Amino acid sequence: MKIAFELTWRTPLRWLLGLLLVWAALSKLANLQDFYGELLAYRLPLPDFLLRLVAITLPWLELLCGLMLAAEAWTRAVLSWATVLFATFSLATGQAWLRGLEISCGCFNLSLLGLGGSSVFEKVFESVGFAFFRALLLATAAVYLLRQQTTIGSTN
Amino acid sequence: MTAPSRQSLKPSTPTENRLWVPMAGLLIASFALGFAYNHVSPLGVRSRGAAKSPRTEASVQKPQKGYFNETIAMSLETLVASGKTPSAGIPLANLPPGTLLSSQWLSDTPVPAITWPELKPLLQAGKVLLVDARPAPHYQAEHIAGAISLPPAMSAAELAAFTAKHPKSSSMVLYCATDECPLARKLAGALIEQYGYSDVKVLAGGFAQYRVDEQKAAATVRAVK
């Protein structure tokens, strides 16, 4: 009964994480230069070339992870990367929130859903505090799925 | 029927245990795709422009401390919500000198647009002032040559200094990241409504469209040669 319950929840959760990763990736790929600017706004203590590298490769890593998560391919590796990504993002947004930096999250482009400009949704969605808690929640979900995957194996 | 034990369901093949192999594969694929896409995309990450520090009309932007920006912005927004100010916000000139502006305070006046091919010769002739309305880090990453920075985090004093320096008859064009970004349009509206500027436009498509247009122009030049 417990295993059936977990199996029922794992698949939709996996698809949700995959969808979010794909959406985040497409938002960044639409304008890489803008994403690089948003990375600079976090004022991370990293050299510029590393920030450029992140701006260039991170969206593709997200996209590949999102697609493979939905397709249930290399699930352990993908979930490991998802955990790393969400945990890192939690740290970045957390430090930006603590320092009171005025930044856009740069994660999700609501105009892809027809919600953009000065809509209320964007204001809430793009706030750094919301981004921090969202990243924490997603990291927790990824860790949960990874633990389940490690325990039961990639049989489904 | 008992549930299978966790121990018996553990993956046992060597391939499954080598987690780092698929992880490394994903990372390498991301590098390859990332650099290829960045090379062909007109909106890819490019080398930094010549200006490494923002060319602003006021003092250098000070490092933000603690909750300063959010606290000020929230208190100003509370004032607006309480109905103690006009719907268009307190006139910028009446704000205390240290007040930080929130984009919500700026106008929604419709502003005419100009395309980059139309703007470029005017800019080269020095007939128009180009203003970058994006946050300072975006300006530092890359900006249109000749543009000055008026970021959303600027103070009322900085905006007042800018307007004192440039007469009301000045031709200005403001731009933001894309058309979806409201910063340029709102700042332009405020300059028209509250500071009396008559010739203010926004760049159609923003910085993104500028990059696309410039890449097309460069491709045309190469094709002709």
Which residue from A145, A139, A130, A131 is spatially nearest to A13, judged by alpha carbons?
A145
DSSP assignment of B168-224: TT-EEEEE-SSTT--HHHHHHHHHHHTT--SEEEEETTHHHHHHHHHHHHHHHHHHH
Mutating which of A5, A21, A22, A31 best tests the B interface, going by the most B Cβ atoms within 10 A? A31
Q: What is the pLDDT of residue A6?
A: 55
pTM, 2 dp: 0.72
Interface check for B16 against chain A (CB to CB < 8 A): the answer is yes
Which ipTM score applies to this complex?
Answer: 0.82
Q: Do B30 and A60 touch (CB under 8 A)?
A: yes
Q: Do B27 and A61 touch (CB under 8 A)?
A: yes
Separation CA A47–CA A45 (nearest Å): 7
Q: How confident is the model at residue A96 (pLDDT cuts 50, 70, 90)?
A: confident
For CA atoms B103, B108, B114, B119, the dihedral sign is negative
Interface check for A78 against chain B (CB to CB < 8 A): the answer is yes
The DSSP output letter for B114 is: E
* Closest chain A residue by Cα to residue B100: A102
Q: How confident is the model at residue B3 (pLDDT cuts 50, 70, 90)?
A: low
Interface check for B81 against chain A (CB to CB < 8 A): the answer is no
Q: Do A40 and B138 touch (CB under 8 A)?
A: yes
Per-residue tokens: B25: 């594969």
For CA atoms A142, A148, A149, A154, the dihedral sign is negative
Residues B213-222, mean pLDDT to the nearest whole number: 83
Per-residue tokens: B52: 């490494």
Q: Which residues of B touch A38 (CB under 8 A)?
A: 137-138
Q: Which residues of B touch A43 (CB under 8 A)?
A: 137
pLDDT digits 0-9 by tens, B149-181? 988 878 778 888 888 899 999 999 999 988 878
Separation CA B34–CA B28 (nearest Å): 10
* Closest chain A residue by Cα to residue B181: A117
Separation CA B141–CA A39 (nearest Å): 10
The beta-carbon neighbor of B10 closest among A65, A118, A153 is A153
H or E segment to which residue B137 belongs:
helix B136-141
Give me the percent of chain B exceeding a pLDDT of 70.
64
Q: Which residues of B touch A29 (CB under 8 A)?
A: 37, 41
Q: How confident is the model at residue B7 (pLDDT cuts 50, 70, 90)?
A: very low
The beta-carbon neighbor of A32 closest among B25, B41, B140 is B41
Look at residue A122 and tell me whether its pLDDT is greater than 90: no
Look at residue A65 and tell me whether its pLDDT is greater than 80: yes
Q: What is the pLDDT of residue B217?
A: 84
* Closest chain A residue by Cα to residue B37: A56
Mutating which of A21, A28, A34 best tests the B interface, going by the most B Cβ atoms within 10 A? A34
Three-state secondary structure call for residue B131: strand
Interface check for B68 against chain A (CB to CB < 8 A): the answer is yes
Q: Are strands B171-175 and B199-203 parallel, antiparallel or unpaired?
A: parallel
